[in-house]
């Protein structure tokens, strides 16, 4: 079985994370896997780790034709891995090197068990919807990813003025948000930025998209969940005539004459899940749903 | 075309509402419809209205085999009409006698235009999902409706103590809510009670169910949207050993030994919609999404 | 130094809590304190604990003239202790037997250190504001406490219908809440029920009162903070003509003809605080403000 | 009685607003007032309005020693007027030329009545607290106002990364916000930006400050109300090492090595209020508290 491993390239990557990256590589090899590493990621690693890796992996400039991609890091690393994997259909296994993530949902301590299960085919693959952004402006290729696993956000570029965001669903006028921004999220992204601004949590396989305003001026503004076959069109007005569009956290300045369309991407991302482990488990752990604040005060 | 008309039976029904009930009946007759009225509703009307109605309608003890049911009143009246129409598949047209409703979405002033459209078949029928509650306790027939167009709510019966609601989705443990209650809502109900406690709005045809806690003790509690093929199971603990279950606002006391299952009902409710009128229009009007509070303060 | 000790009388009091109650009594004695126990509380304890207590405490039918009252249990126990201490001005020390409370803010493991500090006068006393409810109906004495350390809440008695609560501040009309209820909270209570329904946290010594609606039908409803010299008057309408008023969780049914006034009580409750321990510490611990949910997902 | 009039200088000022500016000037003159206009404001007006104004007003380069300042425009205009009036103690009367504001709370249609009342001394002056920002960096004089009538906000400068804001109250550690920003608001500002991000409304004379996070990553984050004698200290960390500070909407980039202190300003702003008109009236009107959304759906 062939694996490609992608790791965190954040400048603040810890030495412990680097050791765990090697640990995962070593485990893959020991379980009989064949391992590829992206060249630029390999180069980013310190010399001692590279020496350990040399005998057990091959380098690749582009994503090789593997059976599974392993992402080692946080959810941010997983998002970048997903952008590289794109529409190839190769399933991704997310291992976290720090705290449990929603995407990097497998703890380092479970790597051995997980690889045993993977090697004997004892795992599930879950399809995750992505959002695709299109505009009437041509984006230079290779410079701006327009597919989002988490969310596409419209944000004000400057701080002084708010945005007016005129929103249409399937060409029906929805509303004009007066706000600092608008977040359009997949079920996968519903536990990320969307949650910070009051959005509901969407179970990962719900065929839905959720729209939530950032700091809405209108107090009756509420998150809206629509069918994921919907086409969302946005026209933006800004005192500075500019706004930002952010795709999974990567942002770009656009002119307000550019209108935005958001819809479901043509492909899904395939996420590797261990059998018997549910989304709700991750949710309870991450949101500390077991803990009760008010109880003690009564 | 045969119509049955159901009107508000609230004790605080106004004289104006009664005049409008007659007005709708008269309009149906003038447009060539054949009209049936439930006997108990007819009897609740004042003498002068009854006299006007006598020549233009027939009375019926049970729901006759009509082509369309017309509900005249508020959303509460529509909910009761829906309970009577049940799984017959007869489409319902909701006319409001006061302010615009989400269900009673046609204003009295549009009755003439709407009936013209209906008589020439120029309308849409939208399928709305209902929720069905089952328990291991047998409910006496005809005494408690267990199908909800809006929501099924678990509520504490007494005020002193909170509930512990252990929730499972498709037999996977979700969480234990420590709260005053839990509201499980359809997309249709997402603009009703669910919205008051912070739930997102679900577009009516989204195949989803939304769960929201009332006054949750755990500050990280958030609304959760799941696929409407989900089976939600609840086990409730209460210091008084009792709790309330409310189906579209009609409630009943249950013992905490009774566990509750909520799933999609086997049938949908068919709602008559005018062509060219969208849910978002109603939303803007009802939620005053056009109005902007903060704008003026900047 | 004379102490009276009040402990949890909840039926679900654990054996461990009972041991800790004895532990606190023993520690008071060892630190040279003179100890009184309420007779009914003593009787509620199991025989072996009573035998241990016999040599070290005296029983009292009413609150004796002591220097400090010690509450051992949760915040619920503290609230009942506060109701007994009333306007005597005797400071209360809150020790929790389970999880840290906002009122029972001293952990059992810190009892020795705390008592050493108390015996040498090395502690602070913080004045906490209470709310007083008055009505035009005479409450039978000794049957219903009308002073609240946490909150006074107006709640619907039945589940089917909402309340209309017409609110006035210093005789100026504020608004008419259409809601399941209204919670009027002290700064102390702002971390209890008020917080569950979206209220802000008020630092304990802020001279303010916070009003928050429960499940408000009006989406623009927001919590309101007013000066604690304000007099809040409420007139309630209910379809059932009845409503509940709850004072620190103890509730009573009232007729809608009874109007309610809420203002600051004439006395404060004096809470013993350890030097160098702040409210913000408790807040961080109780609300897990150290934990970061979204971070990992980026 | 001497008046200085400040009007909107927004580039999108309407012709109608300009006519109303003249209307207010004319009314002041007719009621026997002596009128001064800032030179730069006068110059910004169209020729025909200037011709009408010439006989009835005098120009001034700096704020003359008047009895009252009149602000004609929206709340934004009022904020800029307040910045100019500063600590002079001259009371400000806010007249709106569009929709009712919280600060520009007098409608144009009430100008005649209001001026009659003002000329005969029949009005109240309400003291409004301001916040003062200090840093260890010296701000060039005349370039950046550090006193806020509404709010002081810490905002991220770039979109990709969140801020870590370490907050202290009177040197006691509060918490470390992981968020897009933090808004520290006066009671006056509690109905502006603070409200958009979930803050409670503070009655204008409440001696309090309210802190609210923007898009907090920690789901247990809640608004916090502290006594307005508190000194709030902030240390900010940002991946870009920069952040924005915004004082009543005017922002400036700072380096993360700069720490921020926020406290009550040494002076208050004196706002002219009509007798018999309350804050709650404005609140009901602005927040549409009269309107009830859910009612109709029941």
In SS3 terms, D128-194 reads as EEEEEEEECCCCCCCCCCCEECCEEEEECCCCCCCEEEEEEECCEEEEEEEECEEEEECCHHHHCHH
B226 and B211 Cβ atoms separated by less than 8 Å:
yes
Q: How confident is the model at residue A296 (pLDDT cuts 50, 70, 90)?
A: very low
Q: Which of residues 241-280 of D touch A (CB under 8 A)?
A: 244, 246, 249-251
What separation in angstroms does the CA of B260 have from each of A290, B11, B137, B159, B263?
Answer: 21, 32, 9, 21, 10
Task: State whether D101 and B297 contact (CB < 8 Å).
Answer: yes
Q: Is A250 annotated as a binding residue?
A: yes
Q: CB-CB: which of C175, C205, C207 is closest to D289?
A: C175
d(CA A199, CA B20): 40
Q: CB-CB: which of D159, D197, D220 is closest to A244?
A: D159
The DSSP symbol for B140 reads P
Residues of chain D contacting C294 with CB distance shorter than 8 Å: 162, 178, 217-218
Which chains reach chain D with 3 or more Cβ–Cβ distances below 8 angstroms?
A: A, B, C
The span from the first CA to the last CA of chain A, in angstroms, equals: 56
* Cβ–Cβ contact B155 with C under 8 A: yes
Gap from D70 CA to chain C (nearest CA, Å): 27
Of A24, A58, A26, A19, the residue nearest A42 (C-alpha): A58
Q: Is B150 annotated as a binding residue?
A: yes
Per the listing, tokens 């200290």 go with: D233
pLDDT at D25: 97
Q: Which two tokens stand for residue B83?
A: 């309970």
Contacts of C19 (CB under 8 A, 6+ apart): C49
What is the chain A residue with the closest CA to D250?
Answer: A160
d(CA C168, CA D205): 17
Q: How confident is the model at residue C10 (pLDDT cuts 50, 70, 90)?
A: confident
Q: How confident is the model at residue D298 (pLDDT cuts 50, 70, 90)?
A: very low
Which chains reach chain A with 3 or more Cβ–Cβ distances below 8 angstroms?
A: B, C, D
The per-residue pLDDT for range B245-257, each reduced to its tens digit, is 999 988 889 999 9
Gap from B32 CA to chain C (nearest CA, Å): 39
Gap from A77 CA to chain B (nearest CA, Å): 25
pLDDT at B216: 93
Residues of chain C contacting B214 with CB distance shorter than 8 Å: 180, 214-215
Contacts of A290 (CB under 8 A, 6+ apart): A284, B175, B176
pLDDT at B142: 54
Question: Which of D100, D218, D297, D298 to mutate against chain B (most B CBs within 10 Å)?
Answer: D297
Asked whether residue A213 carries a pLDDT value surpassing 90, the answer given is: yes
Of C149, C221, C212, the residue nearest C183 (C-alpha): C212
Q: CB-CB: which of B201, B217, B278 is closest to A292?
A: B217
* Cβ–Cβ contact A199 with B under 8 A: yes
A96 and A77 Cβ atoms separated by less than 8 Å:
no
Task: State whether D159 and A197 contact (CB < 8 Å).
Answer: no
Gap from B99 CA to chain D (nearest CA, Å): 7
Burial (CB < 10 A; 0-12, 13-18, 19+), residue C149, is buried
Gap from A156 CA to chain D (nearest CA, Å): 9
What mean pLDDT is predicted for residues A96-100? Answer: 86
Residues of chain C contacting A288 with CB distance shorter than 8 Å: 288, 291, 293
Instruction: Report how far Cα B166 is from the mean position of its chain's Cα atoms.
Output: 26
Instruction: Give the Cβ contact number of residue C97 at 10 Å.
Output: 24
What mean pLDDT is predicted for residues D253-266? Answer: 94
Q: Is B7 annotated as a binding residue?
A: no
Give the angle A119-A124-A129 at the CA atoms, nearest 5°: 130
Per the listing, tokens 């990280």 go with: B220
Task: State whether C222 and D195 contact (CB < 8 Å).
Answer: yes
d(CA D88, CA D267): 9
d(CA A245, CA B258): 51
Asked whether residue A25 carries a pLDDT value surpassing 60, the answer given is: yes
Task: State whether B298 and D191 contact (CB < 8 Å).
Answer: no
d(CA A281, CA B91): 42
Of D159, D163, D158, D239, the residue nearest A11 (C-alpha): D239
What is the chain D residue with the closest CA to A244?
Answer: D159
Task: State whether D218 and C289 contact (CB < 8 Å).
Answer: yes
Of C189, C34, C179, the residue nearest C119 (C-alpha): C34
Radius of gyration of chain B (CA): 21
Instruction: Report how far Cα B123 is from the mean position of its chain's Cα atoms.
Output: 21
Task: State whether B294 and A218 contact (CB < 8 Å).
Answer: yes
The DSSP symbol for B68 reads E
Give the angle C93-C98-C101 at the CA atoms, nearest 5°: 50
Task: State whether B203 and A280 contact (CB < 8 Å).
Answer: no
Instruction: Give the Cβ contact number of residue B295 at 10 Å.
Output: 18
Q: How confident is the model at residue A262 (pLDDT cuts 50, 70, 90)?
A: very high
Task: State whether B220 and A174 contact (CB < 8 Å).
Answer: no
- Dihedral angle at the C-alpha atoms of D237, D242, D245, D246, nearest 10 degrees? -130
Instruction: Give the Cβ contact number of residue D180 at 10 Å.
Output: 26
* Cβ–Cβ contact A126 with D under 8 A: no
pLDDT at B159: 66
Q: Which two tokens stand for residue D59?
A: 């120009």
Asked whether residue A49 carries a pLDDT value surpassing 70, the answer given is: yes
d(CA D235, CA D214): 16
d(CA A211, CA A227): 11
d(CA D295, CA B280): 19
| D253 DSSP β-pair partners | D244
Q: CB-CB: which of B159, B195, B217 is closest to C155?
A: B159
Name the 3-class secondary structure at B227. Answer: strand
Residues of chain C contacting B217 with CB distance shorter than 8 Å: 196
pLDDT at D136: 78
Q: Which two tokens stand for residue C97?
A: 């037997």
By residue count, chain A amounts to: 298
- Dihedral angle at the C-alpha atoms of D109, D111, D114, D119, nearest 10 degrees? -160
Q: CB-CB: which of B179, B249, B287 is closest to C219?
A: B287
* Active site (annotated) includes residue C12: no
Per the listing, tokens 């999609």 go with: B264
Of C200, C188, C196, the residue nearest C104 (C-alpha): C188
* Of the listed ranges A170-184, C180-194, D156-170, the one predicted with least confidence: D156-170
Q: How confident is the model at residue C210 (pLDDT cuts 50, 70, 90)?
A: very high
DSSP assignment string, A13-80: --HHHHHHHHHHHHHHHHTT-EEEEEHHHHHHS-HHHHHHHGGG-EEESS----SEEEEEE-HHHHHH
Q: CB-CB: which of C208, C220, C295 is closest to D289?
A: C220
pLDDT at A297: 34
Name the 3-class secondary structure at A254. Answer: strand
Instruction: Report how far Cα D71 is from the mean position of its chain's Cα atoms.
Output: 12
Q: Which of residues 37-56 of C touch D (CB under 8 A)?
A: none
d(CA C84, CA C74): 16
Q: How confident is the model at residue A145 (pLDDT cuts 50, 70, 90)?
A: confident
Residues of chain A contacting D217 with CB distance shorter than 8 Å: 196
Catalytic residue, candidates A75, A113, A248, A292: A75
Q: CB-CB: which of A74, A286, A291 is closest to C293?
A: A286
Q: Number of C-alpha atoms within 13 angstroms, CB side, residue C5? A: 29
For chain B, the average pLDDT equals 91
d(CA B122, CA B116): 8
What is the chain B residue with the closest CA to D189?
Answer: B297
Asked whether residue D292 carries a pLDDT value surpassing 50, the answer given is: no
Q: How confident is the model at residue A141 (pLDDT cuts 50, 70, 90)?
A: low
What is the chain B residue with the closest CA to A226?
Answer: B203
At the topology level of CATH, where does A2-122+275-286 sit?
Rossmann fold (3.40.50)
What mean pLDDT is predicted for residues C257-278? Answer: 95
* Cβ–Cβ contact B290 with C under 8 A: no
By residue count, chain B amounts to: 298
Fold equal for A2-122+275-286 and A130-266: no
Pick the residue with more confidence: D184 or D140? D184
Q: How confident is the model at residue D285 (pLDDT cuts 50, 70, 90)?
A: confident
Q: How confident is the model at residue D124 (pLDDT cuts 50, 70, 90)?
A: very high
Of A93, A117, A96, A118, the residue nearest A107 (C-alpha): A96
d(CA B99, CA B92): 19
Task: State whether A222 and C219 contact (CB < 8 Å).
Answer: yes
* Cβ–Cβ contact B64 with C under 8 A: no
What is the chain C residue with the closest CA to D285?
Answer: C175
Q: Is C76 annotated as a binding residue?
A: yes
Of A159, A161, A156, A162, the residue nearest A253 (C-alpha): A156
Q: Which two tokens stand for residue D122?
A: 């029949």
Task: State whether A176 and B219 contact (CB < 8 Å).
Answer: no
Size of interface A-B (CB pairs under 8 A): 134
* Cβ–Cβ contact B296 with A under 8 A: no
ipTM computed for the complex: 0.92
Q: Which of residues 76-115 of C touch B (CB under 8 A)?
A: none
Question: Which of D225, D238, D279 to mutate against chain C (most C CBs within 10 Å)?
Answer: D225
Instruction: Give the Cβ contact number of residue B258 at 10 Å.
Output: 15
Residues of chain D contacting C199 with CB distance shorter than 8 Å: 200
The per-residue pLDDT for range D90-104, each reduced to its tens digit, is 999 999 998 888 999
Superfamily of domain D130-266: Probable inorganic polyphosphate/atp-NAD kinase; domain 2 (2.60.200.30)
Q: What residue spans define the domains of chain B? A: 2-122+275-286, 130-266
């Amino acid at each position: 079985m062939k694996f490609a491993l992608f790791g965190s390239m954040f400048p603040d990557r810890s030495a412990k994370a680097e050791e765990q990256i090697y640990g995962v590589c070593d485990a893959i090899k020991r379980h009989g896997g064949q391992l590829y590493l992206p060249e630029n990621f390999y180069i980013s690693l310190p010399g001692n780790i590279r020496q350990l890796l040399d005998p057990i992996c091959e380098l690749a400039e582009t994503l090789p034709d593997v059976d599974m991609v392993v992402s080692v890091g946080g959810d941010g690393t997983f998002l970048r891995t997903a952008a590289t994997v794109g529409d190839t259909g190769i399933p991704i296994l997310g291992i976290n090197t720090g705290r449990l993530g929603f995407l990097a949902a497998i703890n380092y301590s479970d790597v051995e068990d997980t690889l045993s299960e993977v090697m004997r085919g004892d795992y599930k693959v879950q399809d995750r919807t992505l959002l695709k952004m299109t505009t009437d402006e041509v984006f230079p290729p290779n410079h701006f990813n327009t597919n989002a696993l988490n969310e596409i956000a419209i944000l004000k570029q400057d701080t002084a003025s708010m945005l007016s965001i005129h929103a249409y669903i399937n060409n029906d006028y929805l509303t004009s948000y007066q706000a600092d921004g608008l977040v359009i999220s997949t079920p996968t992204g519903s536990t990320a930025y969307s949650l910070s601004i009051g959005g509901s949590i969407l179970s990962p396989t719900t065929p839905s998209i959720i729209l939530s305003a950032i700091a809405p001026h209108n107090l009756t503004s509420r998150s809206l969940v629509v069918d994921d076959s919907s086409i969302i069109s946005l026209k933006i007005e800004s005192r500075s005539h500019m706004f930002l569009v952010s795709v999974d956290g990567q942002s770009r300045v656009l002119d307000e004459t550019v209108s935005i369309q958001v819809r479901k991407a043509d492909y899904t991302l395939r996420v590797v899940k261990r059998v018997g482990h549910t989304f709700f488990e991750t949710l309870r752990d991450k949101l500390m749903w077991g803990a009760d604040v008010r109880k003690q005060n009564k």
